[in-house]
Each structure stands twice: as C-alpha cells, then as structure tokens.
Structure 1
Amino acid sequence: MNTNRLSKTMAAALNAQITKEAHASQIYLSYAAWADGQGFAGIASFLFRHAHEERNHMMKILEYILKRGAEVEVTAIPAPPASPVSINNCFEKILEHEVDNTNAVYKLVKMSHAEEDWATWNFMQWFVMEQVEEETLVMNLLDKMKIAGGEKMSSDALYSFDKDMEKASNEVRPAQEVTTETP
C-alpha cells in the first residue's frame, strides 16, 4: 500500500526547500567564520546560532516529508557566496538571502493551496511567520547600524554593536522548541 500523502511536485518542492535551508545554514556559518576572523566574536556567535537555526528548519521540513510518507532526497548544496566586505554588508547580504527564502516559502504555500494540500499549507504557515521574524530581525539590525553610521560606523559603535549581538545570540531557539505558547 502506498502511504505517500504528498504529490510528486510537492515532495520535490519540499526537498528543494530542504536544500535551500541547508544552504542558508552554510551561508550563516560562512559569515560567522568571517566575522570571527575580523575580531567580532559577538556577531560571530549570533551568526553561528542562526546557522544552527537554519539547520533546524531543514530538519523540520525533512521530518514533515517523512511523516507524510514521501521520500527525502538529500542533495548537494551550493557553496556560500563570497565573504562580506564589512559588517553592514554582511547584514545586507543576510537580508537579501532571507527575502529570497521568504519568496521560496511563499511558492510552497501557493503550491499547497493550489493542490488543496491543506496539511502542507498548514505546516508552511509556521515558516511564513518565521520568515516575518527573520526579516524583521535583520531589518532592525540594519536600522541600528544605519543610526550608528552604516558603512562608516566608528570603531566604538562597531564595538558596542558586537557586544549587543553577543547578548542577542541567546534569543535564537531551535525550531522544534517553538510552540504557539512560546513562539
């Protein structure tokens, strides 16, 4: 008996999103290593935590595919893009990546709606809200940097920002621990 509850196109799209989330994790990992190499331990800590969070997103989708009886396809991920040229550029690149990921999530939502796959549509709503949070977080950080001078942030402002990011890194929780009571 076939227990697969996902269409071939939906399973393929969800598998592609697994790869996209793995790639996101690698991007955060790469940028964290770059930030650490530049002496920004607080920013690096924040980015390392986000690399872990993106991996949790990947696992959340992988587990969903398995629960729906479909096959998971683990594929190669692209190399991360070139290292940022500044802290401001780092977060600009992160925002671009998060917006791209939001668009991919929206495509999955649209596809699940078109297929009347309400289980997947419902599952993807968590990711819609997560992307709102991710984009808002990065936009708020870019706003703080803009106030501090953007690309021309003083060394004192960069030092303070790095220290703030070290504290902020503890706010990231694994995706599987998120519930409606503790978002």
Structure 2
Amino acid sequence: METNRLSPTLAQALNKQMTNEAANAQIYLAYASWASEKGYDGIANFLFRHANEERNHMMKILEYILKRGAKVVVTEIPSPGPDPASVNDCFEKVFTSEVENTSAIYRIVEMSMAEKDWATWNFMQWFVKEQTEEETLALDLLSKIKVAGGASANDDALYILDKDLAQTADDATLAQDVSAANP
C-alpha cells in the first residue's frame, strides 16, 4: 500500500529545505566559532544558540517528511564559506542568509498552495512566522551594530555590543504583535 502523501516535487523541495536548514546551522556554527576565537563570547553564545535553532528546524522538516510517508534524502551540506571580516560583516552575512532562507520557504508555500497540499501549506506557516522573526532579529542586530559604528565600530563599542548580545533574547518582537498600547 502506498502511504506517501507528498508529491515528488514537494518531497524534493522539502528535502532541499532540510539541507538549507542544516547549511544555515553550519553558517551559524562557523560564525560562532569565529566570534569566540576573536574574544566575542556574547556574540559567539548568541550564534551558537542560533546554530542549534537551525538544526531544530532541519529536524522539524525531516520529521514532517517522514510523517507524510515520503523519503528523506540526506545530502552534502555546502561549506559556510570564509570567515567574516568583522562583526558588521558577520551580521550582514547572517541577514543575507536569512533572507535567502525566507525565499526558499516562500517557494515551498507557493508550491503547496498550487498543489492544494493544505497539510504542507499549514506546516510551512510555522516557518513563515519563524523567518519573519529571524529577519527582524537580524535587522535589529544590524541596527545595533550601525549605532556602534558599523564596519568602523571601535573596540569599546564592540565590547558593549558583545555584552549586550550575551543577554539578547533569541526571539524578536514582530510588527503584527505590537499595538499603540504595546509598541
């Protein structure tokens, strides 16, 4: 009896996204290691936590593929690329990576809608919200770095930023969650 409830195109797209999430975990892991080596323990801790979060995203997709009766295909993860040149460069790269990931998720949402696979469409809504949080968080970090001096931030500003990121929550406040009474 056939138990697969994913089309070949959606199964392939979800497997590809699973690999994207694993690659993003590697990016965060590489950048966290770089930050730690540079003495930015707060930034490193923040990035290590996000590496774990990306691995959790990967597992969430893997489990979904299995529960829909499709085959999980584990493939090679691309290299995270060169180390960042600076803290500013690090978070610019993080933001770029998150925007690319959002685009990939939107493609799966579009595919699931076109195929009328409402289970997958519903499943992907969690990722849509998560990517909104990830992009907002990355933008907030870029704003902090900009205030600290951007690419020209001095050691004192980076020290304060590092201490601040050690305390920064892993979630961002989203626009849809605020109001005039609760900005």
Return the TM-score normalized by structure 2.
Answer: 0.92
The alpha carbon displacement at 1:155 in A equals 1.1
CA distance in 2, matches of 1:122, 1:154: 46
Deviations 1:62-103 (A, max 9, x none): 000011011101111111111000000000000000000000
2:170 is the counterpart of 1:172: yes
Deviations 1:129-159 (A, max 9, x none): 1000000001011011111211111211100
Larger relative contact order (Cα-Cα within 8 Å, sequence gap ≥ 6): 1
Query: Aligned residue for 1:148?
Result: 148
Native 8 Å contact 2:4 2:70 kept in 1:
yes
Unpaired runs of at least 5, structure 1: 174-183
CA distance in 2, matches of 1:85, 1:94: 13
Q: AA paired with 1:132? A: T
Query: Aligned residue for 2:34?
Result: 34
Deviations 1:1-32 (A, max 9, x none): 10100001100100000100000000000000
Q: AA paired with 2:42? A: G
CA RMSD of aligned residues (A): 0.9
CA distance in 1, matches of 2:23, 2:145: 26
CA distance in 2, matches of 1:146, 1:80: 24
CA distance in 1, matches of 2:108, 2:85: 33
Native 8 Å contact 1:53 1:172 kept in 2:
no
**2:59 aligned counterpart, secondary structure:** helix
2:4 is the counterpart of 1:4: yes
CA distance in 2, matches of 1:145, 1:75: 35
The alpha carbon displacement at 1:172 in A equals 3.2
Q: AA paired with 2:120? A: T
Native 8 Å contact 2:148 2:161 kept in 1:
no
CA distance in 2, matches of 1:132, 1:112: 19
Identity %: 63
The alpha carbon displacement at 1:117 in A equals 0.3
CA distance in 1, matches of 2:53, 2:105: 16
Native 8 Å contact 1:112 1:120 kept in 2:
yes
2:25 is the counterpart of 1:25: yes
Native 8 Å contact 1:42 1:162 kept in 2:
yes
CA distance in 1, matches of 2:152, 2:86: 10
Return the TM-score normalized by structure 1.
Answer: 0.92
**1:44 aligned counterpart, secondary structure:** helix
Native 8 Å contact 2:28 2:47 kept in 1:
yes
